[in-house]
A and B are shown apart, each in its own frame.
Chain A
Amino acid sequence: MKLITISCPKKHIFYVPLRPQSKNDNPYKVKSMADSLNIQELEQVVVRFSGDSGDGMQLAGNIFSTVSATVGNSISTFPDYPADIRAPQGSLTGVSGFQVHIGAGKVYTPGDQCDVLVAMNAAAFKTQLRYAKPNATIIIDTDSFTQKDLEKAEFKTADYIAEMGVDPDRVIACPLTTMVKDALADSGMDVKSVLKCRNMFALGLVCWLFSRDLDVAFNFLREKFAKKPAIAEANIKVIQAGYDYGHNTHSSAMNVYRIESKTKVPGRYMDITGNKATAYGFIAAAEKAGLQLYLGSYPITPATDVLHELSKHKSLGVKTVQCEDEIAGCSSAVGASFAGALAVTSTSGPGICLKSEAMNLAVIMELPLVVLDVQRGGPATGLPTKSEQTDLLQVLFGRNGESPMPVMAALSPTDCFDAAYDASKMALEHMTPVVLLTDAFIANGSGAFKLPKLEEYPAINPPYVPEELKGTWTPYMRAENGTRYWAVPGREGFTHILGGLEKDNKTGAISTNPENHDLMTRLRAEKVAKIQVPDLEVEGDKDNADLLIVGFGSTYGHLHAAMGELRAAGQKVALAQFRYLNPLPANTADVLKKYKKVVVAEQNMGQLAAYLRMKVDGFVPEQFNQVKGQPFVVEELVNAFKEILKK
């Protein structure tokens, strides 16, 4: 890290009269302005905004990540919000967080712990401190630490900073609410609206801390509040006030920071959450295949944003039906598929249980269908807003009868786009339901998304029944790769009946013939087994690793970061992350058996490990399992893997 000393420019000083305060009001008074200021260059930094769930922390975090991405920083975000829509104000359960990781080089995770914690009230300070590094800078609004606030947050003493064991020099304690009120004193806004701008003051202060250009934030707000320009300008004024406050006082921060982008991939980008990327992937696939996109769904956290996103795009002809229940969501998608659409159903948690029966109908009727499962904490209602990988065995095996179904898992928020596209292509070309697993972590998290060019994506060619088969065609006639042909209603000469009862392979009539059922079961299994998926890629020390880390889906970033740290510490480590779970990549056994030690790390009690043991003879991995509803912590992974390496 380079340390640069520059003189402090004073052009921003136009406001921020610091209120005179007694020592009792604010024992951690800001330091007086210095004449010079250190600017430190950082490789990466993690900022966590936290406050009441109504405090607008998600918006502040979002703007900060966008502002950072605009200068070419790599970003990864993680919103961490409570299940309650509005828990009692100031309560410990009502705290909402938004963590942003920005880096000069590529960042793979939203970060374990933060370098800067914004705590908008006493409850946030109390609950979020655990997510801060020991030497983190902590920004608090002293106006939200009154006696009453402290009681609500269950503090025992008035010296809350000492009570939490925090070094006061690390705390930027500012009367944030007061300053927001002052900044907007002439705006004519009512108190409630003024207080809604508090998040922007914190944002402004953080922007100052990291030398961010405010213009991007201003533009963001002007677009977001295009129909309410007064609100936009009030927010802008408050951001500027926060920035100036930092600048004028240098707060208690020791330094300000710069994160210079190093691994720039030129191109045009947008910030995208996993759920939005998933929706975009379906839209792209439907357009490429020349089909209508149909979504049958029922609102359920954290999958609902996919329904929201697709419902917006009627100008692209997208049809969304918010059904009466999860069952109808999936059933109607099966009907849509029969009628010739790219049919999708989206769900989470208990919803995937309810859809199982209709998913099986698509299995036996051999119709294309994409089932999106945004995994969350279970069982039953479980932890609706938290993340897990606990549906893997359910989607692989949780249906009656022999029910082979391809399963994929997206690796990151931006990979959700490609994963949704690939799952759609697989479903349409192989006439099968496909499960796409994401989870709350990548669904709500975001990353910088390089705008895709549809023309660079592979064609999607469903196996429509050839016209020359008219007269001889029967419903279970198969193309060379074992796929049933698709005859869409409305086509003359191809009327047929499908159904949930077993059918005769030749005639398509209902059949209970023992040999036929055995044959049909095998044909359905073979069809799925024959689907070509890319080989499992090994990253890191692929030729000489002492430990192979194995995971699937959304843990990719954390496992990759853990591998990076271990390698930086001189260990020989590799990573193989599964994106295709069924069928498994052809080289799976070769990869898993190549290394002396393998650890399967997953956010469940060992589902992938069990599945791989079933599929790869003699494979006995080490396991790292955690089911906390929170993303992995890289440091914990590193420590656990070190132990395994020592064994």
Chain B
Amino acid sequence: MSSYTAQDYKKGQPRWCPGCGDHFFLASLHKALAEIGVAPHNVAVISGIGCSSRLPHYMATYGMNTIHGRAAAIATGAKVTNPDLDVWQVSGDGDGLAIGGNHFIHANRRNIDLNMILLNNRIYGLTKGQYSPTSPRGFVSKSSPYGTVEDPFRPAELCFGARGHFFARAVATDAPGTIEVLKAAHDHKGASVCEILQNCVIFNNGTHDSVYDKEGRKKNAIYVRHGEKLVFGENNEFGLVQEGFGLKVVEIGKDGYTIDDILVHDAHSEDNTLQLKLALMGDGDGFPIALGVIRDVEAPTYNDAVAAQIDEVKAAKKYHNFAELLETNDIWEVKE
């Protein structure tokens, strides 16, 4: 049992709008850390700029609320320097995928052991309502009064495209679901992306309505767990099967489908093809939105590799301090 409670990670009074998804997420993070049991002074929470990036100020841990888009790069430096720190990098969709998109993909590619939280409300809130890189095509906002004329990023696709080894999704209002993915992200060694679907009550109200409450999730979401059948519905009456080149929703007991035909989730499969299909479901395509840990594959982490290489080179080389380094050069002596 952990010797910490959620209270040990709490600080200050959040200033987000009432009803903002950030409140829900923050409470889940406090609880998840308490369940993980990592000491607050060994935690660093590093965010960029945006509504959600205020989060470190409400943590009784070490942390930085830095500059727009750079959280993943800054967190990288901190983790490489001190691999014992439990580093949580918190960004919104603008911070993480627009201005910080380059750092997002490279942190994934490097597989540095960061817990990367992407709080996705598909809007720029702090600058008062412009479309973000996750806003759907045609989205009307202050900066797109006639609708956007561009397609959004789908975060999972970006993560997978960058060779990410961990991707999970949760809805901010779903505390148990969020805590579960946060704990899994913490346990995963390497870059772990958690997409948190959250509402912006002021500028993009209702953006995740189909899964924002429990009832909606029963109908429109599927909780995926490694090693378990991919079933969903109020009574788990539906399931996913592989058909042709893709997935298909079937009703168990109908059209000749039995529970045995239903796919078993494999989050640990190195091949990410089906995981990606799961991650991209639910975009008005008749599929449920996948929640939970979609991909969780072990791979060498950047920070471990850095440490291992240092040990290796230390053992191989004969110089280990500055004075010895000097002696590795061509030296001549000038005498009186």
Contacts and interface: CB of A to CB of B under 8 A. Distances in A.
B77 A294 contact: yes
Given A321-B77, A324-B103, A499 B330 contact: no
Contacts of A70: 332
Interface stretch (A106-114, A327-335, A459-467): A327-335
Contact of B56 (A216, A334, A497): A497
B1 interface: no
Contacts of B332: 66, 69-70, 216, 268-270
A188 interface: no
Interface in A94-147: none
Chain A contact residues (Cβ within 8 angstroms of B): what range? Answer: 35 or more
A501 B65 CA distance: 8
A339 B81 contact: yes
Given A268-B333, A294-B80, A324-B102, A499 B66 contact: yes
Nearest to B83: A339
Interface in B307-322: 309-310, 312-314, 316-317, 319-322
Contacts of B319: 315-316
B41 interface: yes
Contact of B73 (A264, A327, A338): A327
Interface string B210-241: 00000000000000000000000000000000
B320 A328 contact: no
B81 A271 contact: no
B78 interface: yes
A495 B41 contact: yes
Interface stretch (A383-391, A485-493, A543-551): A485-493
Contacts of A332: 73-74, 76-77, 80
Contacts of B76: 321, 323, 328, 332, 335
Interface in B321-336: 321-323, 325-326, 329-336
B64 interface: yes
A451 B331 contact: yes
A315 B317 contact: yes
A498 interface: yes
Contacts of A496: 62-63
A599 interface: no
A535 interface: no
Contact of A495 (B61, B317, B325, B329): B61
Given A500-B49, A510-B57, A314 B62 contact: no
A336 B316 contact: no
B64 A492 contact: no
A493 B44 contact: no
B334 A265 contact: yes
Nearest to A342: B81
Contacts of A69: 332
Contacts of A349: none
B325 A283 contact: yes
A489 B38 CA distance: 13
Nearest to A314: B313
B90 to A, nearest CB: 12
A489 B331 contact: no
B335 A266 contact: yes
B73 A283 contact: no
A223 interface: yes
A641 interface: no
B77 A339 contact: yes
Contacts of A510: 57
A387 B61 CA distance: 46
Contacts of A66: 330, 332
A374 interface: no
B81 A328 contact: no
Interface string B272-298: 000000000000000000000000000
B326 A270 contact: yes
Contacts of B106: 323-324, 328
A500 B70 CA distance: 11
Contacts of B136: none
B81 A336 contact: yes
A317 B70 contact: no
A68 B61 CA distance: 59
A325 interface: yes
A570 interface: no
Given A319-B306, A335-B73, A269 B313 contact: no
A447 interface: no
Interface in B56-110: 56-57, 59-67, 70, 73-82, 84-85, 102-103, 105-106
Contacts of B80: 294, 319, 321, 332, 336
Given A331-B77, A495-B60, A339 B39 contact: no
B78 A223 contact: no
B39 to A, nearest CB: 7
Interface stretch (A177-185, A357-365, A605-613, A620-628): A357-365
B321 A316 contact: yes
Contacts of A270: 326, 329-332
Nearest to A66: B330
A343 interface: yes
Nearest to A508: B57
Given A315-B316, A321-B77, A324-B102, A498 B310 contact: no
Interface string A55-96: 000000000001001101000000000000000000000000
17 contacts: A70-B332, A264-B336, A267-B334, A269-B331, A270-B329, A315-B316, A316-B325, A321-B76, A321-B77, A324-B106, A335-B64, A336-B78, A338-B62, A358-B67, A454-B322, A490-B41, A495-B62
Given A341-B77, A495-B41, 13 more contacts: A220-B330, A314-B310, A319-B80, A319-B306, A332-B73, A334-B74, A335-B77, A358-B74, A361-B67, A490-B62, A490-B82, A492-B39, A500-B49
A-B interface, 4 closest residue pairs, ranked by CB to CB distance from nearest: A335-B77, A332-B77, A499-B65, A315-B317
